[in-house]
Structure 1
Amino acid sequence: MSLQHWFFSTSESTGLNGTATGHYGPFTVLPALSCFPLRLSFLQRWTAWRSIFFPCSLSSCQECRFLLPVSITERFLFCVFWCSISERFLSGSISVSTQATGCRTGISCFSDEAGCGEDHAGALFCSHKLFPPVIRPQFNLRQLFFMQGIIVIGGGILGLSTALHILQARPGTRLVLVEKEQTIAAHQTGHNSGVIHSGLYYKPGSLKAINCREGYDRLLRFCREENIRHEICGKIVVATSEQALPQLQELHRRGVANGLQGLKFLNPAEIRDIEPHCTGISGLLVPEAGIVDYPAVAEKYAEKITEMGGEIVLGERVEEIRQNGNQVEVIGASRTWKGNAVVACAGLQSDRLARQTEPALPLRILPFRGEYYKLRPSSARLVNHLIYPVPDPAFPFLGVHFTRMINGGVECGPNAVFAFGREAYQKTDFNLRDTLDALAWPGFHKVAAKHWRSGLGEYHRSFSKQAFVRALQNLVPEIQAEDLEPGGSGIRAQACDRSGKLLDDFDFRVSRNIIHVCNAPSPAATASLAIGKTIADNLLSLLQ
C-alpha cells in the first residue's frame, strides 16, 4: 500500500486544511505529528495511541489531520515501546525539532542539524518526504514529550490553581499534585478569614497589586459560573486617631492607582450610616470588597483538575527534590515521581523545598499565628459587613478587624504573634526544629530587635482576652468580653530576608525547570487564578 493510500484513503477527500469532507470508514482521525525520530512503520501504528492524550483540539493545533488505523493491540504495543524509550526522550538525549529554513511550506522537521534545507538532507524524519504538503501543527518533539510529567507540590489554593491552568493550557498533560495532608486546603487556604480583597493596600505596580486586581475579576467570574457562594458586601477602613489620617489618604491614593471603583471618604456620621456601632474620625468606603468560602473554591479547583485527567495524591510528604539534567525527581515519604518540571507551592514549607535547589536562598519563612474570636450570635448585630482599622505601614499585617463570614457569624481578629512552629495553631504548640530554624536566621534577630515592643503587645492580646477586647473597642466601643467566644487560628507564612525585612510582595524563584513560590501571603487567595495562570505560563514557556 502506498503512503498516499495509507494516510489519505477515505471514501471522500480531505480539505486543504486537513479537515474531513466525508466519511472515514474504518479509519480514525488523528492529529498530525510532523516530526518524529522513528521509522515510518513505527509512526504508522504507534502514533495512533497518542490520540488518547494529545487531541487535535489543542490551541497550537491548526486542525491538520491524517488517518491511521487503531486497534487495541497497536495501542498496547505503543505503550510497551513508549515505556522503553521514554527515558531517552525525557532526558533530552535526542536533539529537538527545528524550523526547516529551506522548506517551501515552512513546517518543522526533525533534523540532525539546525535546519534540514529544502532537500531535507540529514533529516531523520521529515514530513515533506512522506506526506503531501498540507498544513500541520507546529509541534516540536521536546514540547510533545514535556507534556508528560509535571509535578505540583502543595494542595493549597495556589498549587491547585497552578495545576488547573497547566491542564487548561495543555490538555492531555500528565500532571500529579502532591499534598502532605489528608485533605486539600489544610493550612493557609483553610484558615483565612474568607475576604475577597479588592487591591486597596498594595503598592501600585507590585505583584500583589497586579495579581489582586486581575485575580479579583477572575475569582468573581469563577464563583458565578460554578455557583460558589460569595458576596460583594464592601468594607470600611476606619481612622481612629489623627495620626492615622495620612495613611488613610495613602490607601485612597493606592486604591485609585490600582483601579478600584467607588472609593469614598466618610465622615463620622457617614460611618455610622453604614456601621451604626462603629466609631472613627474618618473612614474610607471600599465597595468592591467581599467574602467567599475559599475551601469551597479550592475544592472546585480540585474537581476540575481530576476531570481533566490530573492526579491528586494526598497524605504524601515531599522529602527531597533532585534535578537530573532535564528531569526532576520528587521523592516522597513512600513514593517517588519523575517529571520534566516541578512547581512548589509549599506555603509554610516553601523555603525548605526551595533550598534544595537553591542552597543560598536569601530568605526564610517566619510563622506568625493569627488568633480569632467570634461574636456570639446575640452580638452579631454589632457588625453589618467588614470593618478594618488603618494598618501600621511598618508591618505587612492589617490589624485586628471584624469580618462577616459567608457561612454566617462574625470573626474578630486576627492578632499576629510569632508561632513556635510552622503548624502551631494552638498557643501551647511547639516544634523544636521550626523554632531553631527561625532563631538561627539573622533576619529574625533584626525583626525582633526592631519590633520587640509591638511583638510583646501582640502576645499580651494573645493571652489576655481583655486586651484583645480593648483593641476591638477602638472600632466598636460597645464590644464587651462577654460578646466574644473563642474562634479559630491560622498561620501566616511570612518570608523574611537577611536584613530583617518582612517581604511585602509575592516572591517566585526559578531554578531551571523548577518554580518555587517562596512568599505568597494575602491576597494570594483572591489572586489565586491570576497567580496560577502566571506560574503555568512561565513554566510551560520554560519547556518550549
Structure 2
Amino acid sequence: MNEITKIDVAIIGGGIAGLMVGYEITRQFPHLNTFVFEKGNFLGDHTTGRNSGVLHSGLYYAKNSLKHRLCLEGNTLWEKLGRELNVTVRRCGKFIFCSKSHEQEKLDQLKNQAMENSIDGVRWATDSEKNKLKAFADVNSAIFVPTAGLIDVPMAVSSLERAILNNGGNILRNNFISKVSKHEQGFLLETRDGPILTRALVNNGGLWSVSFGQQLWPNGLEDYFVKGNYLKYSGDFYRESFIYPCPLPHLKGLGVHSTFDVAGAIKFGPNTEDVSEIDYGIDIQSLEEMKTEIARCYPSVVMDKLAPDYCGIRSKIKLNGHLYPDFWIKGQKETNLSNYVEICGYESPGLTASPAMAKFVVNLLEL
C-alpha cells in the first residue's frame, strides 16, 4: 500500500479558475503546502483555452447574482492584475446592435439593465459610429459598452503558473484524480502518484466538477454541456471594438458575434449545440448554420474567407432537473464539509470573474 502524502491545500483543475485560486492562496498564505492538480499535459487546455477571451462588463447577468457581482469586480481587478503579472488586458469596448425595429425593445432593456447593474459609461452609439459599423454589420441601432475588452488568455495562464511557483506553490500536470473521499483529517485524493491527504480542498474541476462533488455530498446537480464552435475569418473586418448582435430570448448564449484577439485575428462564434459528452470535434452542419446567422447579422462577411477554428464546451449545470442560471460556489454552510469549496457551472463570464472568484473562495476557507 502506498504511503499517504499530506498537504495543506489541493486545488482540482489547472484552468484559469483553478490557477487564479492557487495564485490567491499562495499569495496570501505562502507558508502553506499548496498544490494545483491538472489532469492534462497542458494548463488551461479545456474551457479556459476554448472561449472568446473576452473581458466582460457584467451587463447581461441578473442583478446581484454571483455572475453579476464577480464579473463586475473581476473586470476591475484584471486591470491591476494585468500590470502585476504582465498580461495584456485591453479595453476595446463592445457595440451591441439590433437590425430590426422589433429588436429595439430588447436593446432598450439592455441599456436600462446596464444602469441597474452599475456598468459605467454605457451609451447609445453616435450616428458617426453607426455609419462606420454599417460597413460591417446590419446595424439599425446600437449601444456602446466601454468596459468590455479582451484578455491574452495564454499569457494569463503562463503568468499565473509562474507566479504560483514563485510563491512556493506546486502544479502537477498529467495528474488525474481518480477519486475523492472524506477523511477525518480532511480529504483523501487518489492520484497517479498515490494517495494524498489534504486539509483543504477546492473543487475547480470545470467540466468534471459535478462528478467530483457528488463523491463528497448530494449536491443535486447534473451536467448540461453546451458546445460552442468558432470560425476564423481571413477577410477585412472592424477591429476597433467587438460587435455583438442583440441577444434574442431563445438563445442559450449571447448569439454568434465577432471578436478579435491581441494579434487582431478575427473570429465569429460561439454557437450553441447541446452535447452529452466531452468531444472537441467540429460538426460541419453546425458550421453551415453559423454561416447563415453570420450572413444575416454581418452581410459584409465573405463566406469563402470563413474557416473552422476551434470549439469549446460550456459547463452549464442543472439543479434538481432545472437549468441553474448562476455560478455554483458552495462552502461549508451548504455542504456541511469543513474546508471544502465547490465551483460548478463556471461558464461565461468565468474568465472575467476569476480574480474576484478566487478572493471569494479563499474567504470561504479556514486556512
The TM-score with structure 2 as length reference comes to 0.92
Conservation of the 8 A alpha-carbon contact between 2:95 and 2:144: yes
Match of 2:220 among 354, 358, 362: 362
Q: Aligned residue for 2:166?
A: 307
Q: Which amino acid aligns with 2:329?
A: F
Q: Which amino acid aligns with 2:305?
A: D
Deviations along 1:169-188, one digit per CA (max 9) or x if unpaired, are: 22211111111001110101
Q: 1:498: how far off?
A: 3.0
Q: Aligned residue for 1:425?
A: 280
Match of 1:231 among 75, 83, 90: 90
Conservation of the 8 A alpha-carbon contact between 2:202 and 2:340: yes
Q: Which amino acid aligns with 1:362?
A: G
Q: 1:268: how far off?
A: 6.5
Secondary structure in structure 2 of the residue aligned to 1:381: coil
Q: In the superposition, relative to structure 1, how do residues 509 and 255 fare at CA in structure 2: closer, same or farther (>3 Å)?
A: same
Q: Which amino acid aligns with 2:365?
A: L
Q: 1:240: how far off?
A: 1.7
Name whichever structure is richer in strand by fraction: 2
Q: Aligned residue for 1:532?
A: 358
Q: 1:381: how far off?
A: 3.1
Secondary structure in structure 2 of the residue aligned to 1:485: strand
Match of 1:207 among 59, 63, 66: 66
Q: Aligned residue for 1:504?
A: 325
Conservation of the 8 A alpha-carbon contact between 2:133 and 2:139: no
Q: 1:235 and 1:309 mapped to 2: Cα distance?
A: 39
Conservation of the 8 A alpha-carbon contact between 1:383 and 1:402: no
Flag the structure with more relative contact order, 1 or 2, with Cα contacts below 8 A and sequence separation at least 6: 2
Q: Aligned residue for 1:411?
A: 267
Conservation of the 8 A alpha-carbon contact between 2:210 and 2:221: yes
Conservation of the 8 A alpha-carbon contact between 1:219 and 1:526: yes
Q: 1:375: how far off?
A: 0.8
Q: Which amino acid aligns with 2:221?
A: L
Q: 2:181 and 2:30 mapped to 1: Cα distance?
A: 26
Segments of structure 2 that go 5 or more residues without pairing to the other structure are none
Q: 2:9 and 2:290 mapped to 1: Cα distance?
A: 46
Q: 1:401: how far off?
A: 0.3
Q: Aligned residue for 2:348?
A: 522
Q: Aligned residue for 2:232?
A: 374
Q: In the superposition, relative to structure 1, how do residues 518 and 173 fare at CA in structure 2: closer, same or farther (>3 Å)?
A: same
Q: 1:225: how far off?
A: 2.7
Q: 2:134 and 2:200 mapped to 1: Cα distance?
A: 50
Secondary structure in structure 1 of the residue aligned to 2:58: coil
Residues 378-457 of structure 1 correspond to what in structure 2 (within 5 A)?
379-382=235-238, 384-422=240-278, 424-427=279-282
Give the fraction of aligned pairs with identical amino acids, expressed as a percent. Answer: 27
Q: Which amino acid aligns with 2:47?
A: Q
Q: 1:276 and 1:286 mapped to 2: Cα distance?
A: 20
Secondary structure in structure 1 of the residue aligned to 2:330: strand
Q: Which amino acid aligns with 2:175?
A: E
Residues 158-173 of structure 1 correspond to what in structure 2 (within 5 A)?
158-173=17-32
Q: Which amino acid aligns with 2:15?
A: G
Conservation of the 8 A alpha-carbon contact between 1:384 and 1:404: no
Q: Which amino acid aligns with 1:400?
A: V
Q: 1:286: how far off?
A: 0.8
Residues 142-291 of structure 1 correspond to what in structure 2 (within 5 A)?
149-266=8-125, 270-274=129-133, 276-291=135-150
Q: Aligned residue for 1:483?
A: 305
Secondary structure in structure 2 of the residue aligned to 1:340: strand
Secondary structure in structure 1 of the residue aligned to 2:107: helix
Q: In the superposition, relative to structure 1, how do residues 382 and 469 fare at CA in structure 2: closer, same or farther (>3 Å)?
A: farther
Q: Aligned residue for 1:469?
A: 291
Secondary structure in structure 1 of the residue aligned to 2:92: coil
Q: 1:495 and 1:184 mapped to 2: Cα distance?
A: 23
Q: 2:288 and 2:189 mapped to 1: Cα distance?
A: 48
Q: In the superposition, relative to structure 1, how do residues 464 and 204 fare at CA in structure 2: closer, same or farther (>3 Å)?
A: closer
Q: 1:277: how far off?
A: 1.9
Deviations along 1:480-517, one digit per CA (max 9) or x if unpaired, are: 3112122111111111233432x221111233121110
Q: 1:361: how far off?
A: 2.3
Q: 2:28 and 2:87 mapped to 1: Cα distance?
A: 23
Q: 2:186 and 2:227 mapped to 1: Cα distance?
A: 37
Q: 1:467 and 1:234 mapped to 2: Cα distance?
A: 28
Q: 2:247 and 2:280 mapped to 1: Cα distance?
A: 24
The TM-score with structure 1 as length reference comes to 0.63
Q: 1:272: how far off?
A: 2.4
Q: In the superposition, relative to structure 1, how do residues 470 and 181 fare at CA in structure 2: closer, same or farther (>3 Å)?
A: same
Conservation of the 8 A alpha-carbon contact between 2:252 and 2:272: no
Deviations along 1:275-302, one digit per CA (max 9) or x if unpaired, are: 6322222111111111121121122111
Q: Which amino acid aligns with 1:425?
A: Y
Secondary structure in structure 2 of the residue aligned to 1:357: coil
